[in-house]
Structure 1
Amino acid sequence: MSDSLRVVAIADADSFVKWSASLLGSVAGIRRHLLLVKTPLSASAAQERAALSDTGVEPHDVTRLAFADTRAWLEAQRPDVVLLAGRGPFVRLLGRVIDALDQRPVTVAGLPGMAIPAQRGALDYRRHVDLLVVHSHREVRAFDELGRRIGVHVPTALATLPFARPRERMLSPQRAGTHAVGGLLVDERPAPIDSPVSPGGHVRRTPATDIVFAAQALVPAVRSQRAEIATLLLRTAYADPDRRVVVKLRSRPGETETHLERDSYAELLDGRRPENLVFSYEPMSRALQTAAGLVTVSSTAAIEAVAQGVPVIALDTFGVSKSLLNTVFVGSGLLGGRNEVVGGRFRHPHPGWLRDNYFHPEAESTWWERVEALVAMRRAGALPARRVPAARGGALHEAWHRASVLGREDRSAAGRTALLAGVPAARALAAVKRRRTAAGGGTWADATTDFTLEPNPFHDSIRR
C-alpha cells in the first residue's frame, strides 16, 4: 500500500522537524512532504537545513505556510496520513484543522525523543489522534499505564527512534567478545576514550577525539547548576588542550527552539573560553563523527551516540530524578559524574538495558504496518473519527488556544482579547497546581514509576 500513500508531516520547532522528517524518511515508497506552520517556535532556515540532514527529506519536499492557509493546502493535497509533530497545544490546534477537512486523513502523533517519564499533558493533548508513536517497549508500557490512570485511550505503536539507527560511517565486522542485542553489536569491555574501535567492533573512519556536550534547554533548570556544567566544560577543556570540547547548541542568537532556554551556555561561557572549547550548531550526527565521547544530562543525543558506537556519560551530578528527565538511564551503566567527564572515562550501555530502551530489533517496530491498517479501515469507512472536543469555555477559550500556539502569527481581535484575559488566569492556575504538587512532589517524586500525573515543573511557555 505504501506506494500509493501521500503522507504529510506538520511541524514547527526544530526538534519536531528533525524527528518527523527522520521518521518519514525511514518509510520506503511513500510520497512524503513536510509542512512547516509558522509559530513562535518555527525553525529558521539554518535550523531546517540541520534538521533535514540525513533524513531523506529534501528541501523541495518542504512547504512553509501561515496557519490560516493550512486547511486550504491540506484540502488541495488530500493526504492519506498526517503526522502531527509539535508540542501538545500545536497538535491540538492542528487537530481542529483536520476535523474540518472534507476528506479526513489518518492522524498520527509522537514525541521527538526519549519520553520517560510519560507525562500526562503529552498524552492528553494527543488524545484525539488515531495512533501515538513511541520508541521503546518501556515507553509503550508507560503510556499505556498513564492512559489507564487518566482515562485516555490512544492506541500506541512502536517505532525505532530515527536517531537510533547506526550510521554508514561505521563498519560492522563481528569480532570476539561481541554479541548482538537489539540489532547492535555489544561488547561489555570498557573502551578507552581514544580507542578507534567502538564496543561493537565498529571501526571509526575518521579520527574521533572531541568531547561533545549535548546542551538542553529544560534541564538542569537552576542557573547555579547550569553554571556548574559550564565550569565542568572548562575543566575538561583545560585538562587536555589538544582535545576539543564541543558544546552542541540547538539555536543561534535570535533563533528559537522547542523549549525555552534560560541561562544559555553561550552566555555562561561568554568571554572565558579556551581555544579548544567551541560552540557548534551543526547536526548532531555530524558532531558525533569526530566524537570520542558524549556528555549530556538527558538528551536523546545519548541514544544517537550509542547507535554510532560513541561512549556516553549521562551526568548524575545533580541526582537522578524525573524532573531531570534522566531516570531512563537507571540500569544503563551510562550515569556518571564530573570526574569521569574530566578523566575521559566514558562508557557504553549494559546490553541488558538496550532492548527495552530504544534498541529493540527492527522487526518489532510495527508502527507503519499499523498506519497502513488504519488507512485501509478509513477507506472502508470502518475507522471512526477521533475529533478534538470543543473547548469548555466556548469561543473565547478556542481563541485563547489558538493565540497561545500562534503568538504574533494570530492577528485576530479575538486572539488578542483572549490573551489579555487568559494569560494572567493561566499563570495563576498553573501556580495553584504547582503549589498543590510541591508539598509531596506527587508522581514527579516517585522514582518507582515511569509516568507522571501532575503538571510538569518546567516554566516553558510557547509564547516567546
Structure 2
Amino acid sequence: MSTGADAGTAGARFRITAVADSDSYLKFACATLQGLGPEWERRVLLVRSPLQPTHEQLAAATAGTFQDGRAVPVVPAGTLRSVLAGSDVVLAAATGPVAEEVFGHAARLTPRPALVSALPGVAIPATGKALAFRALGDAFITHSYAECRAFSDLAEALQQEPEQRILVSRLPFLKSNPRPEPVQAPLKTVVFAPQAKVPVEREDRVAILQALAALARRSGLTVRVKLRAWAGEPQTHREQYPFDTLWNQLVEARAAAGHELEFCTGSMADQLAPGTAMVTVSSTAALEAVDAGLPVLILSDFGVSEEMLNKVFTGSGLLGTLDDLKAGRFFHPEPGWLRDNYFHQQDTPLGDLLALYARRARAGKLVLSDERLAANRRRRLRLRLRTLLPAPALKLVLALRR
C-alpha cells in the first residue's frame, strides 16, 4: 500500500481539517490527528455552538497532542465553506447536526475534499440517526470489529447507498499494542467516571455516590469522581442530575460527611496511574483504564442493555455491582473480548486509509450522486420545517408534500 512517500511525489503534504464542537469530540479529533505521520498538514477547528468547551475543557482535550497549549480557532458555521477550502480530507468530529452541516458545506467545494466522520468513543448501540446525519460522507470510522459489524448491518437494513464505506480503526487514545497487560500495583485510588446520559434516575445516581462514599470509609482509599464538566458547564450530552450537585445535596442533608469523595475535572490520562482502579456505568474512560492495565468495574445494577449504553461490555469480565464497589472488587478483561472490542491489531494505519481518500480527492475522483445530494437536501429541509413552523403549518406542509 502506498504511504507517505507518495505524498511527496504528489507535490505537497496532505491537508486534513478536523471540525469539532464539544470537548469529547475535540479530544478525539486532536488524538486522531496526532497519530498521523509527517506527510500530513493538520488543522483543528471548533464550530461556534452552545457545546463550545470551556478553557479547562480545551486544555484537557488537547493535552499531549500537537494542539497542546495552542488556541483552537472558533468559526461560525456559516463560514465553513471558505475555511475548509484547500483541505484534502475533512474529518467531521462533531455531534450529528454539526457533522451534517460540515459535510453540507464541504460537499460544495471544488475540488471536493474527502468527507470522513466518526464517533468519539464507544459507539454501540449503532443508530440510524448517527448514520443519517453523516450520510454524505465517503467513510465512517468505527473503532472495533463489533462496531463495524453493527453499523454495516444497520446501513444494509436501512438500504443506504454503498458509497460510504465503514472503516475499522482504533480509538486514537488507546496506546497498547496489540493488547494491554495488567499492571500489578497495590490499590491506592478509585476513580469514578460518570456518563452524562446514564443512569437516568436521580436515585440511581445517588446510590452510586453512596457506594463510593462507603468504599472510602471502609477502605481508606482515595475515591475520586472525575467529571467531564462541572454542573452547568457545556458537554456533549446534557446531564440532568450532575454528580457534583447531587453530592452537595447529600452533604447538606447530612447523608454524607463530605470528606469521603474528591471531585475534579481535567485530562483522564492524568488519573490513570498504577495503583488506580476505574468504575463507571458506561464510559470510554473504562477503555482507557484497560489500556493502561488497570482494573475496572462496569456497574450492572441499572441494567446491561443498549439503553444503558453498556451492552458492549457483555462477556468482558468487567461487569459487577454496587456491592462489588463497596467491597473494592475490580476486574481485568477477558482476552477474547479484547480482540473483538477496541483492542484488535490494526494492520493498516488510519493515516494510510485516509491517504487513499486524499489522493482520490486530489484526482477529482470523489463524486456525490445527485440522489444522495437530493436526499440530504430533503432531510435538512424537513429538520428546518420541524423547528421553524408551528405544528398546524407543519402538518399542512407534510400533507401537501405527500
**Scaled by the length of structure 2, what TM-score is found?**
0.86
2:366 aligned to which of 383, 388, 392? 383
Bigger shift: residues 347-356 or 149-158: 149-158
Give the corresponding residue for 2:233.
255
CA separation of 1:59 and 1:319: change in aligned 2, threshold 3 A: same
Shift of 1:227: 1.8
1:142 aligned to which of 147, 150, 169? 150
Give the corresponding residue for 2:354.
371
Q: Which runs of 4+ in 1 moved over 4 A?
A: 397-401, 422-426
- Equivalent residue of 2:56, what SS? helix
Q: Deviations for 1:19-75, whole angstroms, at most 9, x for unmatched residues?
A: 111111111111111100111111112111101112333343731112222222223
Give the corresponding residue for 2:341.
357
Which whole-Å CA distance do the structure 1 matches of 2:281 and 2:76 have between them?
35
2:59–2:266: 8 Å Cα contact kept in structure 1? no
1:213–1:296: 8 Å Cα contact kept in structure 2? yes
Q: Deviations for 1:418-457, whole angstroms, at most 9, x for unmatched residues?
A: 546379979xx9xxxxxxxxxxxxxxxxxxxxxxxxxxxx
1:391–1:398: 8 Å Cα contact kept in structure 2? no
Q: Kindly provide the amino acid, as one letter, of the partner of residue 345 in structure 2.
A: P
- Equivalent residue of 1:362, what SS? coil
CA separation of 1:263 and 1:117: change in aligned 2, threshold 3 A: same
Which whole-Å CA distance do the structure 1 matches of 2:230 and 2:380 have between them?
39
Give the corresponding residue for 1:228.
207
Shift of 1:400: 5.6
Alignment size in residue pairs: 375
- Equivalent residue of 2:99, what SS? helix
- Equivalent residue of 2:121, what SS? coil
CA separation of 1:314 and 1:23: change in aligned 2, threshold 3 A: same
1:183–1:361: 8 Å Cα contact kept in structure 2? yes
2:317 aligned to which of 333, 350, 359? 333
Shift of 1:143: 0.8
CA separation of 1:103 and 1:258: change in aligned 2, threshold 3 A: same
Residue 67 of structure 1 pairs with residue 73 of structure 2: no
Give the corresponding residue for 1:183.
178
Shift of 1:237: 1.9
Which whole-Å CA distance do the structure 2 matches of 1:213 and 1:291 have between them?
14
Residue 266 of structure 1 pairs with residue 244 of structure 2: yes
Residue 324 of structure 1 pairs with residue 324 of structure 2: no
Shift of 1:125: 1.3
Give the corresponding residue for 1:26.
35
Q: Kindly provide the amino acid, as one letter, of the partner of residue 217 in structure 2.
A: Y
Give the corresponding residue for 1:173.
none
Which whole-Å CA distance do the structure 2 matches of 1:99 and 1:151 have between them?
22
Please give the root-mean-square deviation of Cα atoms over the aligned residues, in Å: 2.5
Give the corresponding residue for 2:221.
243
Which whole-Å CA distance do the structure 2 matches of 1:398 and 1:228 have between them?
39
Give the corresponding residue for 1:85.
93
1:311–1:346: 8 Å Cα contact kept in structure 2? yes
CA separation of 1:289 and 1:105: change in aligned 2, threshold 3 A: same
Residue 100 of structure 1 pairs with residue 100 of structure 2: no
1:345 aligned to which of 321, 329, 340? 329
Q: Kindly provide the amino acid, as one letter, of the partner of residue 332 in structure 2.
A: H
CA separation of 1:269 and 1:163: change in aligned 2, threshold 3 A: same
Give the corresponding residue for 2:174.
164
Give the corresponding residue for 2:132.
124
Give the corresponding residue for 1:459.
none
Shift of 1:8: 0.7
1:294 aligned to which of 278, 289, 293? 278
CA separation of 1:285 and 1:208: change in aligned 2, threshold 3 A: farther
Shift of 1:393: 7.4
Shift of 1:290: 5.7
Give the corresponding residue for 2:191.
212
Residue 277 of structure 1 pairs with residue 261 of structure 2: yes
Shift of 1:303: 0.5
Q: Kindly provide the amino acid, as one letter, of the partner of residue 251 in structure 1.
A: A
Bigger shift: residues 291-300 or 329-338: 291-300
1:243–1:276: 8 Å Cα contact kept in structure 2? no
CA separation of 1:419 and 1:42: change in aligned 2, threshold 3 A: farther
1:40–1:256: 8 Å Cα contact kept in structure 2? yes
- Equivalent residue of 1:324, what SS? coil
Shift of 1:96: 1.2
Shift of 1:291: 5.2
- Equivalent residue of 1:184, what SS? coil
Which whole-Å CA distance do the structure 2 matches of 1:72 and 1:208 have between them?
52
- Equivalent residue of 1:212, what SS? strand
The sequence identity of aligned pairs, in percent, is 36
Give the corresponding residue for 1:310.
294
Which whole-Å CA distance do the structure 2 matches of 1:106 and 1:284 have between them?
31
Q: Kindly provide the amino acid, as one letter, of the partner of residue 392 in structure 1.
A: R
**Scaled by the length of structure 1, what TM-score is found?**
0.75
2:77–2:101: 8 Å Cα contact kept in structure 1? no
Q: Kindly provide the amino acid, as one letter, of the partner of residue 75 in structure 2.
A: L
Which whole-Å CA distance do the structure 1 matches of 2:155 and 2:233 have between them?
35
Give the corresponding residue for 1:439.
none
CA separation of 1:339 and 1:221: change in aligned 2, threshold 3 A: same
- Equivalent residue of 1:323, what SS? coil
Shift of 1:119: 1.1
2:111–2:362: 8 Å Cα contact kept in structure 1? no
Shift of 1:14: 0.6
